[in-house]
Amino acid sequence: MWFETIIRSETGCAAYMIGCQRTSECLVFDPTWDIQPYLDMAAKKESRIRYVVDSHSHADHVSGARRLAAATGAELVMPKLADIAYEATRVEHGDLIRMGGLGFEIMHVPGHRPEQINVLVYDYPRGDEPWFILTADFVMVGDVARPDLAQSAADGAPALYNTSIPRFLNLPDHVEVYPGHLAGST
């Protein structure tokens, strides 16, 4: 397995690429509009982009997921609850995407957005438990998502508190956390 972080320094947004060396395929999580860094990384790793996953409808950056999927022939993966008018494979809590020796388990984490998902990443040759989680805009350094940006706080805050935070806190302690926003945006 290989794992790369691609950061858009202007906004502090982080996208992730996870690849399976056995199948020479990879998954891209939350790509920003400029798709060239993902194409370059896939070429560097001699890997074909097989899946492009968008965690939610973005308010903080323009997603490049559709552009990247179209440019590479990858499968576009979106949350089942996302309000979209284009073709995508729809996923919900508990769904598992397999790619060689890797597994990507969908964890629905409403609150910031009703449809938001996180991805638990498994490297089965290492073991049967998740290795890390990609949290998008749900868990950030020292904070959790704002529930008031794209919905009423009256709806988002209870969903965050009652559903998302317990799901996150019930993960094994060894699971590494990779947020969608990093400190230092300009």
At the fourth CATH level, the homologous superfamily of domain 2-179 is: Ribonuclease Z/Hydroxyacylglutathione hydrolase-like (3.60.15.10)
What are the angstrom distances between the C-alpha of 133 and each of 44, 45, 82, 155, 181?
Answer: 24, 22, 20, 25, 14
The answer, yes or no, to whether residue 59 has pLDDT greater than 70, is no
Range in 26-30, 88-92, 151-155 the model is least confident about: 151-155
The answer, yes or no, to whether residue 184 has pLDDT greater than 70, is no
Q: Identify the pLDDT of residue 60.
A: 60
The pTM score is 0.91
Q: Identify the pLDDT of residue 101.
A: 96
Q: Identify the pLDDT of residue 136.
A: 86
